[in-house]
Amino acid sequence: MKNPSISANSNNLHVGIIGAGAIGQAFAKQLIKAGISVTLSNSRGPESLAGIVKELGPKARAGSVSEAAEADIVLLSVNWAHLPSAVANLPSWDGRIVIDATNPVLLPGYRLAELGGRNSSQVVSDLLPGARLVKAFNTLLAAVLASDPAQDGGKRVVFMSGDDAAAKDIVGQLIDRLGFARIDLGGLEIGGKLQQFPGGPLPAVNLIKLG
Q: What is the mean pLDDT of each run of 10 residues along the chain (211 residues)?
A: 74 97 98 98 96 97 97 97 94 95 93 94 96 98 97 96 97 98 97 95 96 81
The answer to whether position 195 is within a domain reads: yes
Answer whether 160's CB lies under 8 Å from 190's CB.
no
The answer to whether position 4 is within a domain reads: no
The answer to whether position 47 is within a domain reads: yes
The answer to whether position 199 is within a domain reads: yes
Nearest CA to 98 among 65, 76, 120?
Answer: 76
CATH number, domain with residue 58: 3.40.50.720
Number of domains in the chain: 1
The answer to whether position 6 is within a domain reads: no
The sign of the dihedral angle between the CA atoms of 127, 173, 52, 140 is positive
Per the structure, the complete domain to which residue 64 belongs is given by 14-210
The answer, as to whether pTM is greater than 0.75, is: yes
